[in-house]
Amino acid sequence: MPGSTYVEDQENKENKSWGCAYHGDDGHFFCSGSVKPYGPTYTAGDTIGCYL
């Protein structure tokens, strides 16, 4: 995503936590400081699923 940067805050460092996310508004996947185009967007009224 143009203009976006990853910021690791103190809480993440202390807890050694990490996370990945898919942003439905722009279709990008965010993980470990990287941003990549990934899939289609979604909006209000769409049905989405989540596999854990």
> Does any domain span residue 2?
no
Q: What is the pLDDT of residue 5?
A: 54
Considering its fold, how many domains does the chain have in total? 1
Q: What is the pLDDT of residue 16?
A: 59
> Does any domain span residue 42?
yes
Q: What is the pLDDT of residue 18?
A: 66
H helix runs in the chain, sequence order? 10-15
- Give how far Cα 51 sits from Cα of 39, 48, Å: 16, 10
Q: What is the pLDDT of residue 14?
A: 57
Residue 37, domain extent: 18-52
Q: What is the pLDDT of residue 7?
A: 56
Q: What is the pLDDT of residue 1?
A: 47
Which residue ranges in the chain fall short of pLDDT 70? 1-18
